[in-house]
């Protein structure tokens, strides 16, 4: 069983930065592909970034490419999302997700593949 807990959200001005963290309490963290999704009140849950089990490959939504960076530290059971040059349209609840994929070749943006989810952390970008 995997339990995920996000932290690092908050209020920031346009152009600012935040670093989100997601820590897993389960075993075999390195067997899981990880991803960040976000959900704004008016929108559905959308893919932000994903990373394979060993950090070898990453994938980003076009809207965040060049501004956000996903990374992981398997020794700490933690995945990170560094967010730079934040915009008001980045305002959302950010959720961490995990799927068992020890040999995955590419991180997936398909939310239906992710079996485990955190509660989310609020990110608000003021204009």
CA proximity to 98, closest of 90, 108, 106, 84: 108
Distance CA 55, CA 36 (A): 14
Provide the pLDDT for residue 23. Answer: 97
Provide the pLDDT for residue 78. Answer: 97
Hunting for tokens 């079996």 — which residue is that? 115
Task: Assess contact for 15 and 24: CB atoms under 8 A.
Answer: no
pLDDT in tens, the chain (127 residues): 789 999 999 999 999 999 999 999 978 999 999 999 999 988 899 999 999 999 889 999 999 999 999 999 999 999 999 999 999 999 999 999 999 988 877 889 999 999 999 999 999 999 9
Provide the pLDDT for residue 1. Answer: 78
Q: Quick count: other Cβ atoms within 10 Å of Cβ 42?
A: 5
């Amino acid at each position: 069983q995997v339990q995920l807990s996000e932290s690092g959200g908050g209020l920031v001005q346009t152009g600012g930065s935040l670093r989100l963290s997601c820590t897993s309490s389960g075993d075999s963290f390195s067997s899981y592909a990880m991803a960040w999704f976000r959900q704004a009140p008016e929108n559905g849950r959308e893919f932000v970034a994903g990373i394979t089990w060993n950090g070898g490959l990453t994938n980003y939504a076009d809207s965040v490419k060049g501004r956000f960076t996903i990374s992981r530290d398997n020794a700490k059971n933690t995945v990170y999302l560094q967010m730079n040059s934040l915009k008001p349209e980045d305002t959302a609840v950010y959720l961490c997700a995990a799927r068992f994929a020890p040999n995955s070749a590419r991180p997936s943006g398909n939310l239906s593949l992710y079996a485990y989810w955190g509660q989310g952390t609020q990110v608000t970008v003021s204009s």
